């Protein structure tokens, strides 16, 4: 029972890292960025291949982020500089990454069970006593998600962060401030995909292997987390959007877990997700309308 909840939080935190990125594109920039379906496994491929090569697992976190950010930048450039529609830019990058990820990893499945990771290494073996070992992943994941959340909160308060938020709300304002809104979008996409790749890197280290199919539907999980989180917690006092997104990700994983517990076939889960999605959208819309009519 405890293990079940622990598992939900572990998975939820891993995907929350990606969801924070999706929050930037979807909620702030109003950009439906499908490239995360490719950058999530990109982070995994980078992690696997670097760890096999003997690179320190902590270092792979940074390198995976950079790889994701670079690709996010490309999505942005395709959209901003070459005037390709947002959805298409993402699809182009996502499709290209399938081949690139295979090239990076060398094959479709790379096992790293026997190598050191941020969750299992000789340092932790020495420091952590055997009976509490099972708590190590959740503590590490909690640390990572807190750090990433705080970094993002901090960034959104900087000048560049304000501009980012302004682009989504009011492009004219940004232009009138004599700022290049295209450049701001590119930065936003870079950060978002950096987060997605970082999540893929953590996922691969947590599960012990890279598999090309892990990106399938990543964007759906990201969007679900963002929408569930922001819809449920928006009106609840002072919960920050980033916190809400993290909670949304955990809730999403909890729903999937419940569905599996009840013997739901994996093939039906996507339908359940859609229904859940729709219900939340309708409920949040209802509430918005009621608030308006009451006012």
Partner 1 sequence: MLFVLLCSLFTGCSQKEGQITIGIGQFAEHGSLDNCREGFLAGLKEAGYVEGENLKVLYDNAQADGGMAAQIANEYVSKKVDLICSIATPMAQSAFGAAKNSDIPIIFTAVTDPVLAELAKEDKTPSGNITGTSDKLPVKEQLEMIRAILPDAKKIGILYSTSEINSVSAIEEYKAAAADYGFEIVIKGITAAADIPLAADSLLESVDCISNLTDSTVVSSLPIILSKAANKNTPVFGSEVEQVKIGCLAAMGLDYYDLGIQTGKMAAKVLKGEAKAADLSFETIEAAAFYGNTAVADNLGINLPDNLVSSAKEMFSEITE
Question: Tokens standing for 184?
Answer: 């701001």
H or E element at residue 277: helix 266-294
Q: Which of 29, 48, 78, 218 binds partner 1 (CB under 8 A)?
A: 218
Q: Is 37 in the site for partner 1 (CB under 8 A)?
A: no
Q: Which of 267, 293, 294, 295 binds partner 1 (CB under 8 A)?
A: 267
Residues between 45 and 64 with contacts to partner 1, criterion CB under 8 A = none
x/- map, 113-132, partner 1, by CB under 8 A: xx-----x------------
CA atoms within 13 A on the CB side of 294: 6
x/- map, 62-101, partner 1, by CB under 8 A: ------------------------------------xx--
Q: Angle 201-27-159 (CA atoms, 0-180°, nearest 5)?
A: 85
Contact call for residues 41 and 200 (beta carbons, < 8 A): yes
Q: Is 217 in the site for partner 1 (CB under 8 A)?
A: yes
Least distance to partner 1 from the beta carbon of 228, Å? 14
Window of 83-91, 160-168, 266-274, 283-291 that interacts with partner 1 by CB under 8 A: 266-274
CB-nearer residue toward partner 1: 126 or 292? 126
**Please, which contacts does 97-101 make with residues 24 or more away whose CB atoms are closer than 8 Å?**
97/35, 97/37, 97/38, 97/39, 97/41, 97/42, 97/71, 97/215, 98/38, 98/212, 100/38, 100/42, 101/38, 101/41, 101/42, 101/44, 101/45, 101/212, 101/215
Q: Binding residues for partner 1, per CB under 8 A?
A: 1, 3-8, 10-11, 98-99, 102, 107-109, 111-114, 120, 133-134, 203, 206-209, 211-218, 221, 253-254, 256-258, 260-263, 265-267, 269
């Amino acid at each position: 029972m405890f293990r079940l909840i622990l598992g939900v939080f572990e998975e939820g935190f891993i995907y929350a890292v990606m969801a924070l990125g999706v929050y930037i594109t979807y909620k702030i920039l109003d950009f439906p960025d499908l490239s995360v379906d490719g950058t999530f496994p990109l982070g995994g491929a980078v992690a696997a291949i670097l760890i096999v090569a003997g690179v320190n697992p902590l270092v792979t976190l940074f390198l995976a982020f950079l790889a994701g950010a670079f690709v996010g930048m490309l999505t942005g450039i395709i959209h901003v500089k070459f005037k390709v529609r947002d959805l298409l830019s993402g699809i182009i990058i996502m499709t290209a990454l399938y081949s690139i990820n295979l090239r990076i990893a060398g094959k479709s499945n790379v096992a790293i069970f026997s190598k050191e990771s941020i969750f299992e290494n000789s340092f932790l073996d020495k420091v952590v006593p055997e009976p509490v070992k099972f708590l190590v992943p959740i503590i590490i994941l909690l640390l990572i998600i807190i750090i990433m959340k705080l970094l993002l909160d901090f960034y959104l308060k900087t000048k560049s962060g304000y501009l980012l938020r302004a682009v989504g709300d009011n492009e004219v304002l940004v232009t009138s401030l004599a700022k290049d809104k295209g450049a701001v979008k590119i930065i936003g996409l870079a950060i978002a995909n950096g987060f997605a790749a970082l999540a893929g890197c953590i996922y691969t280290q947590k599960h012990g292997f890279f598999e090309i199919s892990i990106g399938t539907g990543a964007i759906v999980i990201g969007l679900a987390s963002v929408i569930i989180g922001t819809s449920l917690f928006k009106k609840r006092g002072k919960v920050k959007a980033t916190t809400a997104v993290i909670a949304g990700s955990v809730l999403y994983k909890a729903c999937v877990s419940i569905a599996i517990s009840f013997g739901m076939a994996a093939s039906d889960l996507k339908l359940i997700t859609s229904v859940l999605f729709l219900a939340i959208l309708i409920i949040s819309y209802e509430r918005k309308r009621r608030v308006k009519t009451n006012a």
